[in-house]
Structure 1
Amino acid sequence: MPAPPLPIRSSSALSESYVSDAFHRYLKSSLSQAKAEHLLDPDILAGAEGDLMITGPALCLYFAALRCTTNPPSVPLPRSSKSATPMELSYDNCPEPFIAFLRVWSKTVAPIQSLAPELQHDLARIICGLQPIVLPTEPSLNGIAADLRAVAIEISQRRSFQERYGEDLQAALDSGAAPATPSPKRATFVPPPVYDPSPTSSANSSPRSSLDGHASPQYANRDLPPQSPSFLSPAPASAGPSNSGFPKASPSLLTPDSPAIEFIRETLYACIADALELQPSLRALLKTDPTRAYFASVAFAILQVATTSVTPDNTIVGVLGQTLTIEQCPPPLRPFMSELAAIGQAARALEDEDNETAMDCVQHGKPIPTTRMDRVRLMLEQGVGYAQGRTESEEGRRSVEGRAVSFTNRVNALSLGMTRLKAFRERQEDVFKVLGGIGM
C-alpha cells in the first residue's frame, strides 16, 4: 500500500533543540541499558569501535518503539526533571527536519511490539551486530533493524549529534558505578572537523544557516571558475574537458610509494565528479544541503568503485591504472577494502535480480516496477525517509528482509567509517570547496 499522507500539523512544533536534548537523554539511558544487557561491551563504548555511531541511535529508536503507547505512534520523550510535564513527539509537534525520521520509525513500532520477547531481544542483538539466539532467524528482524539503522545513519550525520555523542558514551560507561567512582574507561570518540572558510574565500563564501544541525562547510570563492584538484579526476590534463562539462584535472598526486589509505582515498575522490555527472540532482543538493551532498557523493563514489574498479580477486584498480591488493593493505585497512569488494558483489547481485524481475514483467505484460538499485540511489541521496516516487508497486516490492535498505546502510556505513579516518579528514575541506565550485 502507498504510504499514508502525513496528518496536518499544527503550528505548535517543538524546537529542534528541545527534541535534540530529549533524544540525547534517551540515548544515554539506551546505551546504559545495552551495556547492562551485555549487548555493548565497555571497550567498544570507550573506543567507539566499528559503527557504534550508527548502533547507538538505532538502539535508542528500538527502545522508544518498545515504550510507545499511542496510535498513531509517537515517541515518549524523557523528562528533563521529575516535575517536568511528560511529552510525546508526534506529527503534530515534530520539527520539520525530523519528520522523515518519525515517519520511518513509526512504521516499525507495531512490528516490534508484536514480536515475542525473545525475538525482541534478538532484534536488539542484530542492531548491535550480534548473532540472534533464536534459530532459524525470523526474516522480518533484518528488515526492521535495517530501517532503524537507516534513520540512525542520518542522525549520525548531524553535527549537533556528533558534538554530543562522546558525552553520551561516557555517561553509559559511568552507569552502574557509584557517583564518586566513575568508570576508569574514557570515551575516545572525536567528532569530525568543522569546515571553516579560508581567509581568502571568507568574503565571498556562502555560509549556510544550519537549520537541520548538519556541519556547515563554507564554499570557495564563487568568482573563480570551478577547478578540480588532482583527486577529482584520474585523467591527465591533456585529455581536455569532458562531454559532461566537468573539468579534467592534472594527474593524481599519488606516487608508487604512497600509503594504501591515500590510494583508496584518491581513488574514491576521483569518482566524485563522475557521481555528480551520473546523479545531476546532487548538484542542486549542494546548494540546499552541502553536507548531505558530500556524504552522498562519497557514497556514490564508493558504489562506483565497488562495481567498476574491483577485480574478481579483490584488487582495486585506481587512479592512473595503479593497483592495490588486499595483501598490500596494512591490517587495519583490510576490513575497509574487503567491505568495498563485498559491496560490489552485492550490488551486482541486486542488479541481476532487478533485470530478472524486469524481464519477467515484460513477458507477462506487466509494468516494470522501480528497481532496487534505483531505490538505493534515491536513499543514498535523499535519505531513507524520502517520499518522492514511493508508488504502490514500489512499496509492494519491498522484501521482508529490507534488502535495498540494508544495502544502502552498508554503503553509508562504509562511507561514514572511511571519512572518519584521518587521511580522509585531511582532504575533506578541499573536497567541499571543489564540490561547491562544481555545484554553481
Structure 2
Amino acid sequence: MPSPLRGQLDEEGRLVEQYVQDAFHDFLKSSLAHAKAERLLDVEVLSGAEGDLMITGPALSLYFAALRSTTDPPSVPLPHMGNSSPRHHLSLDNCPTVFIPFLRLWSDCVPAIQGLAPEHKHDLARVICGLPPLSQPVLPTLNRLAADLRSISIEISQRRSFQDRYASDLQAAIDVGARADPGTVRVKASFVPPPAYTPPDSDTAPAFSGKASLGPPSRSRSRPRSPHVLPPSANAPPRSPATPPTPTIATTTSPAIELIRETLYAALADVFASTPSLLTLLKSDPPRAYFGAVALAVLAVSSSAITPDGAVVGVRGIPLTLSKCPAPLRPLMRELGAIGREAALIEEEDTMEAIRLAQEGSEVPVPRLERAQLLLERGAGHDVRGDGGRRSEEGRAVAFANRVNALALSMTRLPEFRERQDDVFKVLSGIGLSS
C-alpha cells in the first residue's frame, strides 16, 4: 500500500513547500471568512486593494493557528488536504528549511497568545486588523504580539506563490454567506499582485559574501543631505572607485512618481554597498534581496531627505513638495515623512537610554533603531535579542520595521517601479563584482 505521505515529504523528512503552501491557503480562506463573520473585516475591506490587506490576512491566519495549537512545543495544525490525506502538524522537525525562522518566531508567540484572557484575545485580533482594542487599559503585550505576527506575514506576502493566490483567497471569503439572488451583483476582490522582479542574467549576478551591521543613519532636518548616502557599517568594505554610477533618469520636469522612484533607487546603490549580505542574497533569492534593499532605502530616504515641511529632496537636488504631489501619492509621501520623524525619535530615545545605562555602569543593549534595520535586512525571525539585544513589552523595534516594510510593499506595488526595476538591478549587481 502506498504511503499516505508520498509527495508530501522530501528526502530529509520535511514537508515539501508546495504542500505547506496549499495547506496555508486553505487555512487562510477559512480564517478570512471567520474574521468577516466576527466583523473584524468587512466585504469592503476584503474587496479593496489596500497594501496592508496583504499583511493582515496572513497575520490573522497565524493568530487563529496559535489558538488552535495543542502541542508542546507549539506546532501549526494543518487542514486536511483531501479525504485520503492525513492531518499534519507543521513543527520545527518537519518544517521546510526556508520557513523555519518564521515558525520559530510564531512558536514563541503561542504561549503568550493562549495565556491571554478572552477579551484580550479578541483585542489582539482587532489590533492585527488595525482596529483599536476594546478593553481598557490597553495591554501592552498585544502590540508586541501583533507586531511579531505581522512581521511574519510580511515575509509571507513577499512570496510570489502567495501573491498569485491571494485574490482567490479573498474572493472565497467574500463569497461565504453572500446572497445568491440572480439580481445581486457579485462583489469581486480587486487585489492585484505587485509586479514581479525578474532577476538579471546569472552571469552578472554578484557573488559577494559578507556580513554587515548597519548603524543608525545620521540626519539633518534643516539641510537634508543627499539620499544617495546610507552610512556604512564599520565592518562593511569601502566602495570601490569602479562602482557603477547611481542609475537615474529624473529631471526637473519628471512626474512626482518618477522623482520618488528615482530617489529610492539612488539610495539602493549605497544600501547594497554597505550591506554585503544583500549582495549575496541577490544571487540566491533576488526578490527577497530586492525587497530588503527597498525597505532599507525607504528608511534612508525618510531619515535624510525629508524637509521640516514634508518635502522630499530627491535626486539632483530636486525638491518635491506635498502640494505638488498628485493626490493618490500623498499618503505615501506623508508616511515617508512620518517614518523619518519616528526614526529620529527612536534614535533620540536610544541615545538617552544609552547615556543613562552607561552612567549606571550597566550594559548598553543594541539600539532599537539598529535592531529595526537588522530586521529589514534579515527578515522576521532574525532578531538580535538573543545576542545582547533587548525585547520591549511593546515590541517597538519590530513594529517600526513593519511600518517601513509596509510602505515598501505599497511602493513596490506601483506599476511605475516595474518600469525601471530590471535595469536598476542589472547596474546594481555590478557593485558586488567591482568591490
TM-score (norm 2): 0.85
Please say if residues 150 and 409 of structure 1, whose CA atoms lie closer than 8 Å, have aligned partners that are also in contact.
yes
What is residue 362 of structure 1 aligned with on the other side?
358
Question: What CA deviation, in whole Å up to 9, does each residue of 1:57-95 have, x standing for no partner?
Answer: 000000101111111100000101345322111111111
Please say if residues 287 and 439 of structure 1, whose CA atoms lie closer than 8 Å, have aligned partners that are also in contact.
no
Question: What CA deviation, in whole Å up to 9, does each residue of 1:320-354 have, x standing for no partner?
Answer: 11111111111211111111011001111111121
Amino acid at match of 1:86: R
Please say if residues 170 and 186 of structure 1, whose CA atoms lie closer than 8 Å, have aligned partners that are also in contact.
yes
Question: What CA deviation, in whole Å up to 9, does each residue of 1:228-285 have, x standing for no partner?
Answer: xxxx969xxxxxxx95436363884223332211111111111111112332332222
Q: Does structure 1 residue 302 correspond to structure 2 residue 303?
A: no
Q: Does structure 1 residue 399 correspond to structure 2 residue 392?
A: yes
1:327 to 323, 341, 366: 323
Larger mean CA deviation between 322-331 and 19-28 belongs to: 322-331
Q: Secondary structure at the match of 2:50?
A: coil
Identity of matched residues, %: 57
1:337 to 311, 333, 345: 333
- How far the C-alpha of 1:205 sits from its partner, in A, is 6.3
What is residue 108 of structure 1 aligned with on the other side?
109
Please say if residues 174 and 183 of structure 1, whose CA atoms lie closer than 8 Å, have aligned partners that are also in contact.
no
Q: Does structure 1 residue 437 correspond to structure 2 residue 430?
A: yes
Please say if residues 22 and 78 of structure 1, whose CA atoms lie closer than 8 Å, have aligned partners that are also in contact.
yes
What is residue 190 of structure 1 aligned with on the other side?
192
What is residue 174 of structure 2 aligned with on the other side?
173
Q: Secondary structure at the match of 1:92?
A: coil
- How far the C-alpha of 1:34 sits from its partner, in A, is 1.1
Q: Secondary structure at the match of 2:323?
A: helix
**Cα distance in 2 for residues equivalent to 1:68 and 1:57:** 16
> Unaligned regions of 5+ residues in structure 1, if any?
1-9, 209-231, 235-241
What is residue 122 of structure 2 aligned with on the other side?
121
**Cα distance in 1 for residues equivalent to 2:128 and 2:14:** 30
**Cα distance in 1 for residues equivalent to 2:283 and 2:291:** 14
**Cα distance in 2 for residues equivalent to 1:33 and 1:116:** 20
What is residue 313 of structure 2 aligned with on the other side?
317
**Cα distance in 1 for residues equivalent to 2:403 and 2:122:** 22
Amino acid at match of 1:380: L
Larger mean CA deviation between 404-413 and 266-275 belongs to: 266-275
Larger mean CA deviation between 279-288 and 338-347 belongs to: 279-288
Please say if residues 197 and 286 of structure 2, whose CA atoms lie closer than 8 Å, have aligned partners that are also in contact.
no
Amino acid at match of 2:431: I
What is residue 141 of structure 2 aligned with on the other side?
140
Aligned length: 396
Please say if residues 251 and 320 of structure 1, whose CA atoms lie closer than 8 Å, have aligned partners that are also in contact.
no
What is residue 222 of structure 1 aligned with on the other side?
none
Q: Secondary structure at the match of 2:86?
A: coil
Q: CA, structure 1 residues 380+233, in 2 after alignment: closer, same or farther (shift >3 Å)? A: closer
After TM superposition, the structure 1 = structure 2 runs for residues 83-94 of structure 1, keeping only pairs within 5 Å, are 83-94=84-95
**Cα distance in 2 for residues equivalent to 1:307 and 1:207:** 28
2:279 to 280, 283, 292: 283
**Cα distance in 1 for residues equivalent to 2:191 and 2:278:** 30
What is residue 266 of structure 2 aligned with on the other side?
270
- How far the C-alpha of 1:378 sits from its partner, in A, is 1.2
What is residue 414 of structure 1 aligned with on the other side?
407
Amino acid at match of 1:363: Q
After TM superposition, the structure 1 = structure 2 runs for residues 51-62 of structure 1, keeping only pairs within 5 Å, are 51-62=52-63
What is residue 417 of structure 2 aligned with on the other side?
424
Q: Secondary structure at the match of 1:327?
A: coil
Q: Secondary structure at the match of 1:328?
A: coil
**Cα distance in 1 for residues equivalent to 2:418 and 2:254:** 17
Larger mean CA deviation between 303-312 and 40-49 belongs to: 40-49
- How far the C-alpha of 1:37 sits from its partner, in A, is 1.5
Please say if residues 177 and 183 of structure 1, whose CA atoms lie closer than 8 Å, have aligned partners that are also in contact.
no
Amino acid at match of 2:40: L
Please say if residues 206 and 429 of structure 2, whose CA atoms lie closer than 8 Å, have aligned partners that are also in contact.
no
Q: Does structure 1 residue 254 correspond to structure 2 residue 231?
A: no
Amino acid at match of 2:98: P
**Cα distance in 1 for residues equivalent to 2:169 and 2:242:** 43
What is residue 214 of structure 1 aligned with on the other side?
none
- How far the C-alpha of 1:390 sits from its partner, in A, is 4.0
**Cα distance in 2 for residues equivalent to 1:429 and 1:353:** 39
Amino acid at match of 2:41: L
Amino acid at match of 2:170: L
Question: What CA deviation, in whole Å up to 9, does each residue of 1:103-123 have, x standing for no partner?
Answer: 010111111111111211111
What is residue 218 of structure 2 aligned with on the other side?
none
What is residue 45 of structure 2 aligned with on the other side?
44
- How far the C-alpha of 1:428 sits from its partner, in A, is 1.7
Amino acid at match of 1:407: F
Please say if residues 286 and 439 of structure 1, whose CA atoms lie closer than 8 Å, have aligned partners that are also in contact.
no
Q: Secondary structure at the match of 2:388?
A: helix
Q: CA, structure 1 residues 108+432, in 2 after alignment: closer, same or farther (shift >3 Å)? A: same
Amino acid at match of 1:85: P
> Unaligned regions of 5+ residues in structure 2, if any?
1-10, 208-226, 230-237
1:353 to 332, 336, 349: 349
Please say if residues 246 and 266 of structure 2, whose CA atoms lie closer than 8 Å, have aligned partners that are also in contact.
no
Q: CA, structure 1 residues 251+99, in 2 after alignment: closer, same or farther (shift >3 Å)? A: closer
Q: Secondary structure at the match of 1:369?
A: coil
2:369 to 349, 369, 373: 373
Larger mean CA deviation between 114-123 and 64-73 belongs to: 114-123
